[in-house]
């Protein structure tokens, strides 16, 4: 109850029916101290009954001053401090004040809820004056016969008619309130288990999962990367931490995970990478699956760098397959001789490689898991971003949950939005000019940016995967679509600034390379062919640098590619160090 009573919006994140900022604000003002208050809160926070919220809060804080249109309403409405909150109360009013039967009372409720004006007009007459049959027998006494004035009866009927358009039934609200209380209890006393279950319920939802990952950080719950010896299919709890599931890794299906877990349970944990490959050989774990597991960090506990495993795993798998083939044919291999310990050292050859840089590791993590787990490229500049933008995905999502009408009214609003580019899709306009649809991600989710030709021509050189940009533009809001931003101007974020140890901004006059210039003037046809092949091979959605080729005195654009230090070295080997440079 304390969590609901005193909670901020972020504290109530994940609590059933209480996540929205409006509902959270209502609960803080209401200060619920019983399940009855939560039931009322669930019912009142809807169009129509919402108008009663100020009155309900005022009367709850000072119940002695609750006002009733007629004293006959007090036994029915005292539990909700004089406010009509539930459909059952409407039925009770027409029964107690006008003498309706249960069945007839339900007909009134339905007529009001469906706005059947002709039925309501007839029932107003019955409610006030009653109804008799042709023999004068009283079928419905009516309010006047029960000592209630016509004026009061009319006012009560008007209140019921307005309220009943949107009213909840109490049994429904009570069920909601119980689940809300249970989820708040679980989040308070079992936060890791609660957040793991919540994350599992939103797997694949890239708007919600980052929000809940961020909530875990606020609750000081560490999210651990996948581990081949500890992970299961979904998010699972380890002490006060949550570990990512293997089943959420790209190219790793549920059946594969079940096979891995079964092997692990039957024959113990995997001792090292090659032990995994040997034991899973012949199962449904193919090369693509193993590559994805490596990129996601599932083998990190074995001590080899991901770069080493990526460079070695195919050779290791081929060695295992060849050895098994020879054993099947009855041949004796070198591995059938000698002691296991000595042979383990010479059995497989690892191509030892230094670990990839943090940016590359995070990029692979995002590619395989759909989200960043061990870090985020924007985390180190979070405060700088907050100082320079006025909109992020978290704010957009909260506004949408709070009020659809206010959310729609944001259409056309000028905003500043920053994030890292995760996707670039180019398209030719009817005028045969280029425009683009780019997806950028901030710390809380993703947003699509529409870049028309005029803006694209000014910023195309920085619209590269993994670039961090700041967008000035207009919100484009449609009721049944995700929000978009139409860009007016795009610049590279913080190009000339870095953070020092005291987290203050310091000027840095080093610019990040944007273009790779290759001089092909003196290259022979063989090298040109290799160069064309390399550019084609490294061109992908992750492109992060533009390519220009120099022929004599001419410099011509030649697309873009994804470049790392290792890839840049490969290009130097093809064309020669003297013929390539970064600008």
Model confidence pLDDT, tens digit, residues 351-361: 888 888 888 88
Q: Which residues contact 124 (CB under 8 A, 6 or more apart)?
A: 154, 157
Strands 484-492 and 446-451, by their bridges, are: parallel
pLDDT in tens, 27-67: 888 888 888 889 988 888 877 678 788 888 888 888 888 88
pLDDT of residue 207: 66
What DSSP assignment string belongs to 547-579?
EEEEETTEEEEEEEE---HHHHHHHHHHH-GGG
pLDDT of residue 525: 86
pLDDT of residue 507: 38
pLDDT of residue 504: 39
Q: Which pTM does this prediction carry?
A: 0.64
pLDDT of residue 328: 46
pLDDT of residue 488: 94
pLDDT of residue 539: 77
Tokens encoding 10: 């972020």
Pairwise CA distance, residues 73 & 94, whole Å = 10
367 closest CA partner among 560, 541, 561, 212: 541
Strands 223-224 and 236-238, by their bridges, are: unpaired
Pairwise CA distance, residues 72 & 148, whole Å = 9
* CA-based R_g, the chain, Å: 33
pLDDT of residue 9: 45
Residues of the chain short of pLDDT 50, as ranges, are 7-9, 328-339, 341-343, 345-346, 495-510
pLDDT of residue 204: 65
pLDDT of residue 261: 93
Sign of the C-alpha dihedral computed for residues 164, 166, 170 and 171 taken in this order: positive
Alpha helices, DSSP H, located in 225-333: 254-267, 273-280, 287-295, 306-328
pLDDT of residue 270: 95
Tokens encoding 299: 């083998």
Sign of the C-alpha dihedral computed for residues 541, 546, 550 and 555 taken in this order: positive
Tokens encoding 490: 């795009």
Collapsing DSSP states into helix, strand and coil, what is residue 515? strand
CB contact burial 126-138 (16+ within 10 A = b; e otherwise): bbbbbbeeeeeee
pLDDT of residue 477: 87
């Amino acid at each position: 109850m304390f969590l609901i009573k005193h909670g901020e919006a972020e504290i109530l994140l994940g609590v059933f029916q209480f996540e929205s900022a409006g509902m959270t604000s209502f609960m803080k003002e209401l200060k619920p101290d019983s399940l009855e208050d939560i039931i009322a809160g669930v019912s009142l926070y809807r169009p129509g009954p919402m108008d009663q919220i100020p009155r309900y809060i005022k009367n709850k804080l000072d119940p002695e001053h609750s006002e009733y249109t007629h004293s006959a309403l007090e036994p029915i409405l005292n539990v909700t401090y004089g406010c009509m909150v539930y459909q059952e109360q409407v039925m009770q009013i027409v029964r107690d004040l006008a003498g309706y039967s249960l069945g007839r009372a339900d007909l009134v409720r339905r007529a009001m809820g469906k706005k059947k004006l002709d039925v309501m007009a007839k029932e107003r007459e019955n409610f006030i004056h009653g109804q008799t049959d042709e023999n004068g027998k009283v079928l419905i006494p009516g309010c006047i016969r029960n000592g209630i004035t016509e004026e009061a009866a009319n006012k009560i009927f008007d209140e019921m008619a307005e309220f009943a358009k949107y009213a909840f039934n109490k049994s429904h609200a009570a069920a909601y309130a119980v689940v809300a209380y249970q989820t708040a209890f679980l989040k308070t006393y079992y936060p890791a288990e609660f957040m793991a279950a919540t994350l599992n319920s939103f797997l694949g939802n890239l708007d919600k999962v980052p929000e809940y990952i961020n909530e875990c950080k606020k609750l000081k719950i560490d999210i651990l990367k996948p581990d081949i010896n500890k992970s299961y299919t979904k998010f699972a709890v380890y002490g006060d931490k949550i570990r990512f599931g293997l089943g959420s890794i790209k190219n790793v299906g549920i059946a594969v995970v079940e096979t891995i877990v079964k092997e692990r349970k039957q024959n113990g944990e995997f001792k090292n990478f090659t032990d995994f490959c040997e034991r899973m050989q012949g199962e449904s774990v193919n090369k693509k699956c193993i590559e994805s597991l490596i990129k996601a960090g599932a083998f990190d506990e074995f001590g080899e760098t991901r770069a080493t495993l990526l460079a070695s795993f195919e050779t290791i798998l081929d060695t295992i397959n060849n050895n098994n083939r020879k054993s099947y044919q009855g041949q004796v291999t070198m591995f059938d001789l000698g002691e296991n310990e000595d042979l383990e050292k010479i059995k497989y050859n690892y191509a030892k490689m230094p670990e990839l840089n943090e940016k590359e590791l995070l990029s692979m993590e995002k590619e395989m898991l759909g989200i960043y787990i061990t870090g985020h490229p924007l985390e180190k500049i979070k405060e700088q971003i907050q100082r320079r933008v006025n909109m992020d995905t978290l704010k957009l999502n909260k506004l949408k949950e709070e009020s659809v009408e206010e959310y729609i009214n944001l259409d056309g609003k000028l905003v500043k939005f920053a994030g890292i580019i995760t996707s670039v899709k180019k398209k030719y306009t009817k005028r045969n000019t280029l425009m683009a649809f780019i997806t950028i991600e901030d710390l809380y989710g993703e947003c699509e940016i529409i870049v028309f030709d005029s803006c694209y021509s000014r910023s195309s050189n920085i619209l590269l995967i993994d670039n961090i940009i700041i967008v000035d533009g207009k919100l484009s809001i449609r009721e049944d679509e995700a929000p978009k931003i139409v860009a007016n101007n795009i610049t590279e974020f913080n190009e000339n600034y870095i953070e020092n140890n005291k987290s203050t901004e310091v000027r840095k006059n080093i610019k990040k390379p944007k273009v790779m210039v290759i001089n092909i003037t003196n290259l022979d046809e063989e090298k040109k062919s290799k160069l064309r092949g390399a550019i084609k091979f490294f061109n992908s959605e992750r492109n992060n640098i533009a390519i220009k080729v120099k022929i004599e005195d001419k410099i011509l654009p030649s697309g873009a590619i994804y470049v790392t230090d290792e890839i840049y070295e490969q290009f130097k080997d093809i064309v020669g160090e003297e013929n390539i440079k970064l600008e």
